[in-house]
Amino acid sequence: MAVTTPAHATVTGEPTAPARPRRWRGNHRRPTRRPYRWLLGSALAVSVALGITVAVEPELWSRGASSENAQVRPLSEAEAQRLANMRQRNWEHRWSGIDARVASPTGAIRLTGWLDWQHPMVYVGRTEPGSDQITELLQAVPGLVAHRPASTVTDRLPQVPTTPPSDGWRLRRPGTADPAGEPADPGTLDTLLALLLSLAAPGADSVPQLTAGDSAWLRRDRLGEAEVDVLLGPALLPATDHDGQPATAASGSVQYWLDEDARLHRLSALLTGQTVVDVELNRHDQTAPPVLHMLGGAALDPRPVTPSEAQTLSLLPVRHQQIGGGELTITLPGPGAERRATGWLDWHRNVAYLATYRDGAPDGLVWADPAGVAHRLDQPPQAGMPPLPAPPSDGGWRWQPWSERGDDQGGYDLDLLLQEMLSLAGWYPDPVATVAERARWLRDDTLAGTPVTVYELRRPAEAEAPAGTGRLRYWVDEQAGVLLRLELRTRAGGFGQLDLSPGPVPL
């Protein structure tokens, strides 16, 4: 990628995932589904997915240098090796506190928070000069940014909370906002967040590519007790496939403050011709805030299921038939509004009945069964469950078979969740051998204090995909052996949740 001024964060070349396959079932037919085309940002290819370029101007070479200590020269072999080891050192260290100042001639903002370089995530709060209140919270992973502007909530935060609040978040793909410009512009923030996420890798970078570019030694400096060299290097370091072969070219330039052990303490870059960022790293701060559920939650460590786990999963249909159903709560994040739904699932009658809301405002009623979906735009109650009896027998309902649902992007997120839940009960277990072949253990977790195991049940079209990248995740109660949450990778790229509270159903 060529160096340009100004810099823009754009999404280019995002991979398209396989067409959405059908869920396997052994004892009853599934409703017909439309193919679903969806995009998944790569968690390992930040530079490709975000298309970052960082501006380079002569000012960057001399910012902060004294006249007697500004003898710019090419990197020595040892300095080039240190710069090549920087991302690996960040990855090994994993956690760091960050304090960034983004400034232009017209204004400035401050971002404080934490980085996780092994399970790539950055979580920061934005404040304005002279303010003691957080204006916006941001959490980013490769390919996705969640932001919580103060306008969406009533609370006022004096500092970044270690555990992110659960409400008020919006989701966007980096590059879908306006290009980088002023410090608080979404495009500027997306570019900075992506740059921070790119500064780690499990292996060393390519020394020949570093020395072939514009990399240079700028000066010596001291940060607290640390003696450092200030090195000019690429904004996106040239990754290798760790057998010595270069994989990605470098782009842009950044000042890196590196100590003798290749540990990064500070960086400085021009995000555009007028917007400068200075980032201080606190490598002693090992705070580990959780990743938002809408961004995928805690790190996964996929493995094949054990025989006991395969047996538990095979018995899900029978156990669900026995409990009969319960209350549903659905949350679907999106770029414009959060969609929620509350209601009931009845596995004995094989129906679901919901009231839906957008940003808390009543949005309609939904009735789903194996044949299709009926909906009406009457306003449900201001909060809570849909009205009874169910469904109301008066007019106003519009019914569609599953085969006619969807748009040019495929099926709707809510439809997929409801179809899957309606299919998860039956009188006979699923074949254990089939379950063992298609299921993967992802992690242990908790849900409202209940220990759960998170699984993936890969469909035929997902058989060759890496474990953990499927559309659906199944949170199973470790003791009761029933599903408590169905998690969906949504059309917006984030994750939505359907939570089931087993109990009586008044339908």
CATH code for the domain defined by 300-502? 2.50.20.20
Q: Give CA separation, 169 vs 164, 166, 299, 495, in Å.
A: 10, 8, 20, 12
Report the interhelical angle of 316-323 vs 307-314 (nearest 10°). 40
For the ranges 236-240, 381-385, 477-481, the lowest mean pLDDT is seen at 236-240
Q: What pLDDT, on the 0 to 100 scale, is given for residue 360?
A: 81
Decide: pTM greater than 0.85. Answer: no
For the ranges 83-92, 236-245, 290-299, 322-331, the lowest mean pLDDT is seen at 236-245
What DSSP element (H or E) covers 502?
strand 495-502
Is pLDDT at 150 greater than 90 in this prediction? no
For the ranges 12-21, 154-163, 322-331, 426-435, the lowest mean pLDDT is seen at 12-21
Contact 435, 314 (CB under 8 A): yes
How many other β-carbons are positioned within 10 Å of the β-carbon of residue 247? 13
Q: What pLDDT, on the 0 to 100 scale, is given for residue 394?
A: 65
Q: What pLDDT, on the 0 to 100 scale, is given for residue 184?
A: 82
Q: Mean pLDDT over residues 153-160, rounded? A: 76
Q: What pLDDT, on the 0 to 100 scale, is given for residue 7?
A: 30
Is pLDDT at 363 greater than 80 in this prediction? yes
The residue to which tokens 């460590």 are assigned: 301
Transcribe 5-63 into DSSP letters: SS------SPPBPPPPPPPP-SSSPPPP------B---SS-HHHHH----B--HHHHHT
Q: What pLDDT, on the 0 to 100 scale, is given for residue 224?
A: 86
Q: What pLDDT, on the 0 to 100 scale, is given for residue 180?
A: 64
pLDDT tens for each residue of 72-91: 999 999 999 999 999 999 99
Is pLDDT at 461 greater than 80 in this prediction? yes
pLDDT tens for each residue of 212-243: 778 899 999 998 888 999 999 988 655 544 44
Q: What pLDDT, on the 0 to 100 scale, is given for residue 443?
A: 97
* Start-end of H helices in 255-371: 307-314, 316-323
Q: What is the DSSP letter of 418?
A: H
Rounded Cα gap, residues 289 and 370, in angstroms: 41
Is pLDDT at 64 greater than 50 in this prediction? no
pLDDT over 90 percentage in the chain: 56
The one-letter code for the residue type at 97 is G
What DSSP element (H or E) covers 332?
strand 325-332
pLDDT over 70 percentage in the chain: 80
Rounded Cα gap, residues 277 and 100, in angstroms: 7
pLDDT band at 210 (very low <50, low <70, confident <90, very high): confident
Q: What pLDDT, on the 0 to 100 scale, is given for residue 70?
A: 59
Rounded Cα gap, residues 180 and 10, in angstroms: 10
Q: What pLDDT, on the 0 to 100 scale, is given for residue 49?
A: 37
Q: What pLDDT, on the 0 to 100 scale, is given for residue 31?
A: 36
pLDDT band at 177 (very low <50, low <70, confident <90, very high): low
Q: At 257, is the secondary structure helix, strand, or coil?
A: strand
The one-letter code for the residue type at 170 is R
Contact 99, 282 (CB under 8 A): yes
For the ranges 14-28, 57-71, 160-174, 369-383, the lowest mean pLDDT is seen at 14-28
Q: Mean pLDDT over residues 452-468, rounded? A: 90
Give the residue, 155 or 337, on which the prediction is more confident: 337
Average pLDDT, the chain: 81
Is pLDDT at 50 greater than 90 in this prediction? no
Give the residue, 19 or 55, on which the prediction is more confident: 55
Q: Mean pLDDT over residues 16-20, rounded? A: 34
The alpha carbon dihedral of 221, 226, 231, 236 has a sign of: negative
Q: What pLDDT, on the 0 to 100 scale, is given for residue 334?
A: 80
Transcribe 95-131 into DSSP letters: EEEEEEEEEETTEEEEEEEEEETTTTEEEEEEE-TT-
Closest CA to 354 of 421, 293, 450, 425: 421
Rounded Cα gap, residues 333 and 348, in angstroms: 30
Is pLDDT at 348 greater than 60 in this prediction? yes
Q: What pLDDT, on the 0 to 100 scale, is given for residue 178?
A: 62
> CB burial class (10 A; 0-12, 13-18, 19+) of residue 203?
middle
Is pLDDT at 132 greater than 60 in this prediction? yes
Q: In the chain, which residues fall in CATH 2.50.20.20?
A: 300-502
For the ranges 169-178, 283-292, 337-346, the lowest mean pLDDT is seen at 169-178
pLDDT tens for each residue of 187-198: 889 999 999 999
What DSSP element (H or E) covers 438?
helix 432-438
Give the residue, 17 or 335, on which the prediction is more confident: 335
Q: What angle do CA 296, 300, 303 make, to 5 degrees?
A: 140
Rounded Cα gap, residues 168 and 192, in angstroms: 22
Q: What pLDDT, on the 0 to 100 scale, is given for residue 40?
A: 21
Rounded Cα gap, residues 340 and 338, in angstroms: 7
Q: What pLDDT, on the 0 to 100 scale, is given for residue 71?
A: 82
Q: In 358-394, which positions are buried (b, 16+ CB within 10 angstroms) versus exposed (e)? A: eeeebbbbbbbbeebbbbbeeebeeeebbeeebbeee
For the ranges 247-251, 321-325, 440-444, the lowest mean pLDDT is seen at 247-251
Q: What pLDDT, on the 0 to 100 scale, is given for residue 38?
A: 22
Rounded Cα gap, residues 44 and 23, in angstroms: 28
pLDDT tens for each residue of 100-126: 999 988 889 999 999 999 999 999 999
Closest CA to 460 of 23, 2, 8, 13: 23
pLDDT tens for each residue of 160-174: 999 999 888 889 888
Closest CA to 116 of 93, 89, 148, 143: 93
CA atoms within 13 A on the CB side of 107: 11
Dihedral angle computed from the Cα positions of residues 150, 155, 159 and 163, in that order, rounded to the nearest 10 degrees: -100
Contact 343, 383 (CB under 8 A): no
> Does domain 53-292 fall into CATH 1.20.120?
no
